[in-house]
Structure 1
C-alpha cells in the first residue's frame, strides 16, 4: 500500500489515508513496512502526520508507537510508575512549584495533555528543562477542539540560522540554568520526595526552598542533520512577559491573549551562563528578539479527529495555542531518551 502525501509547510509532511484502506491496522502495516523511510522523513522534515485513519483509542495509538514505530517510551517525570501514581505525583509537585498544566496519565507511558486556556504557551522542547529529555514526541487527537486550540510548531534549525550573528555568538556555548523558589514552606514529606528528584535543594530562612536543576546546553547539534538547534523551555517567570508580548504581536484575530498561567504562577528563573560558570547578561531586548523569532512563521496545526503525528523533539519546538477546550483530547507519548550534553555546541 502506498499513501499520498503533501507538504503542509517546510517541516511538516502529511500522509493521507486511502478511504478504502483507512483502518488502524492499515496504518500499522504501512508503518511497519516503511519504518526506516518514515524515520528519515521525520529527521529531514521535523513532523510527520497521518490523517484520515480510524484511530480511536489511546491503546491503538500506543500500539502504533511502541510496536510498529518501535519507539521506547521514555519520560523524565515518570520512571515507569503506574499512571495513577504519576498523575498524583505530578499534581503534588505542581503544588510545591506553584503551578502546572495538570495532565492526566492514562497509563505508564500515555498522557492526556492539559486543558486549553485563553493564553499561548511559551515555546519549548518537551523536557527541555533538563539535559535528559525525549528524542521524539508522538501526538494523537482523540477529540479536536471546537474552536482554535491548535498546537504551534516551529523549526529550531531555521530559527538558529536566522538569528542575528551577534546573538548566535552570545548563545553558542551557553548553558541554561533553571531554578525555582517553592510556592510554600517545605515539609518533611516534601523533602523526602525531593531527595529522589533531579533538584538540588537549598533551604531559605522563610522555610521555602530554592530548587535548582543541573545546567543544560542552550544550543546543540542535531544528532542526525548535524545542524545547530537552539533548545527553549519557556515556562520561566522572568521570560514569560516577553513570550506573552511576542504572542500578542504575532498571533492576531484570536481575541484577548492572556499571560500564560503556568509560567506566571511559578517562581522559576531562566538564566544563561558561559562554560566557565559565569552568568551571561541577557537583556530585555534580547529576550524579546528570542521569542519573536520563536513564533515568527510558525505552523498552527488544527487537529482533526484521529490524527497521529510524530515530532522530532530536538528539531521542533511546540506550544499550545489559545481557544476553546470543549471535548478536546490530545494524547502524548514521549519516546527514546536523549542526552543533550552529548551534543553540546560551542
Structure 2
C-alpha cells in the first residue's frame, strides 16, 4: 500500500490509498490524545464529516477512563446504550464492551442504532487487547452503498421504508430482555420512551415486550446533505443468522416471535435476493485495518457503518458514544 506522511508537530498524518480510516500517528507514546484532539478539533471535525473515520495510534491511552475523558472533551454529551440490539457489559458509566458475540461469528456492517429515532453522532472504539488473529472492525462508507446499490432495489426500500420488530423477554428467554435494552425495570419509563420514539409496543402475558417501528432506508447527512444508505435491514432479517442457528430457532418458535426481525415498512416480507445484493454491495466497499493496542477509532456513525471480523485469542475493544442525531433533524430520502 502506498503511504506518505504529513508532519503535524507531535503527530504524523498518514496519507494512504485506503480512504478509511484516516490515520494520525503520535511520534511519542506519552502524548495525551484528549489534549491533542482538543487543540486540533476544527481540523479533525472537517476530516470526520468528509472522510467518516479517524484512527489515532500511538497515543497515551491505557484504560476506559481515558476514553471517557476523550469523548467528554470532543462531544456535547456521552450516551448510554439504550435501545441497543446486542449484548454488552458496562465498564464505566458511559463506556461499554463491544458486542459480546462468540468470536467465530462475524458481525455484519451497520450504523449503530440506525433503527432508533435518535442515534449517536460519534462512536469511539478503544483497543485494550489485540486478538491473536482477525477481530478487525471493518468500515464502509454509506455514501458508496447508496451510490452502488441496484436502483430498482434502492427505490423499493426508499419508497416503502423499513419496519423493525422486536420480541423482548421479561428476564428469561431468547435474546435480550426489555430491562437490558431500555436500561430500566420501570415499565412506565419504557412506555414513555416508546411513545416519544414512535415505537408501537405491546406487553405480553409472560411479561415480555413486543415492539415495532417504521424507519427510513436512506437519509441525507445532517451536515453535508449527501445521500446515505442508513438502516440495519439485512442485519435484523433472519437470513443474517448462520443457517444452522436460524433453522434451530425456527424449530422452537415462529418467525414472528424471533427476538429481532425486519420487513418492508408496509409489513410485506423482504426478498432474499434483495438482501443478498445489499450484503454483497456492502462487502465490496468494505475496508479493514489491523488493531494495535492503544488504538482509538473515531467514526461518524451516520456516514460510516462498521462491523466485526471473526477472531481468535483474547480481544478487548471498548466503546463509547457521543453526540446525538435525531430523525427529525435529517432529511429522509423518499424518491430517487
TM tier, shorter chain?
0.7 to 0.9
CA–CA distance in structure 2, aligned partners of residues 110 and 185 of structure 1: 24
CA deviation string 1:15-64 (max 9, x = no partner):
1111xx33242x33321221011011011111011111221111112212
Residue 301 of structure 1 corresponds to 289
Alignment of 1:43-62 (within 5 A): 43-62=49-68
Residue 275 of structure 2 corresponds to 287
Asked whether the equivalents of residues 158 and 216 of structure 2 are also in contact (C-alpha less than 8 Å), the reply is no
CA–CA distance in structure 1, aligned partners of residues 69 and 288 of structure 2: 27
Alignment of 1:199-210 (within 5 A): 200-202=200-202, 207=206
Q: Gaps spanning 5+ residues in structure 1: where?
A: 79-89, 91-99, 246-257
Tell me the C-alpha RMSD between the 2 structures.
3.1
What is the number of equivalent residue pairs in this alignment? 300
Which of 7, 12, 21 lines up with 1:4 in the alignment? Answer: 12
Asked whether the equivalents of residues 46 and 155 of structure 1 are also in contact (C-alpha less than 8 Å), the reply is yes
Q: Gaps spanning 5+ residues in structure 2: where?
A: 1-8
Alignment of 1:6-155 (within 5 A): 6-7=14-15, 9-18=18-27, 21-25=28-32, 27-67=33-73, 69-77=74-82, 101-115=86-100, 116-155=102-141
Residue 297 of structure 1 and its aligned partner are, at CA, apart by 3.2
Task: State the TM-score, normalized to the length of structure 2.
Answer: 0.79
Residue 126 of structure 1 and its aligned partner are, at CA, apart by 1.0
Distance 1:216 1:76, change over 3 A: farther
SS in 2 for 1:126: coil
Residue 73 of structure 1 and its aligned partner are, at CA, apart by 0.6
Task: State the TM-score, normalized to the length of structure 1.
Answer: 0.77
CA–CA distance in structure 1, aligned partners of residues 246 and 302 of structure 2: 23
Distance 1:207 1:185, change over 3 A: farther
Alignment of 1:339 onto 2:326: yes
Residue 95 of structure 1 corresponds to none
CA–CA distance in structure 2, aligned partners of residues 102 and 279 of structure 1: 27
Residue 7 of structure 1 and its aligned partner are, at CA, apart by 4.1
Asked whether the equivalents of residues 181 and 208 of structure 1 are also in contact (C-alpha less than 8 Å), the reply is no
